[in-house]
Amino acid sequence: MTQEEQARKLRQEIHRLRVKKFHWPLDAFKFIMDGMGYGSSLTALSEERLRELKALMLKYRKHGRPSEFTFDKQGKYMFALMKRAGWTESQFRAFTIKHYSKSHWNLLDPKERRAVIAMFQSYIKKQAKDQLNTAIDPKEDSNE
């Protein structure tokens, strides 16, 4: 196998880990790579750097605790709202990366935290209102 084929195989294995182990969207992965000093492109990395990144990803072990325990007290409240609103943790992480350039709740400042909680509260209220409107049949309310 040529050196280019080996590098290509390593890039594929890294993307496989990104998707299957971490469930990271591509934008989040690029942000994390850049933050770790690898840049935002796997193709720009040498074979040695690709092996190093893959080894880091393989070594990383998620803790056995439920994901809501990775949050502080206010974050646990946000997590409950997030679940009621129907979001997954990976969707929330992608949202915080896109809107605040931060990868975790604990990195948000108080103003950003309030905005996220308010957003989830408004989603939940809207869902409740929509469910109420669909439960009420307009024909039953008319006096015809």
Tell me, what's the pLDDT at 143?
A: 54
Are both 73 and 91 inside the same structural domain?
Answer: yes
39, 61, 83 - which closes a domain: 61
95: nearest Cα among 76, 74, 115, 71: 115
Both tokens of residue 133? 């409107």
- pTM to 2 decimal places: 0.48
Tell me, what's the pLDDT at 58?
A: 85
* CA distances to 21, 24, 81 from 94, in Å: 16, 8, 17
- pLDDT tens-digit readout, 50-82: 999 998 888 876 655 555 556 788 888 998 999
Domain count, the chain: 2
Q: With 90 as the cut, is the pLDDT of residue 128 above it?
A: no
Classified as helix, coil or strand, 116 is helix
The CA distance from 90 to 29, in Å, is 12
Are both 5 and 50 inside the same structural domain?
Answer: yes
Q: Which residue has the higher pLDDT, 141 or 55?
A: 55
Tell me, what's the pLDDT at 107?
A: 86
Structural domain that includes position 71: 67-137
Q: Are 53 and 61 in contact (CB under 8 A)?
A: no
What is the pLDDT confidence band of residue 140, given thresholds at 50, 70 and 90? low
Both tokens of residue 131? 């469910």
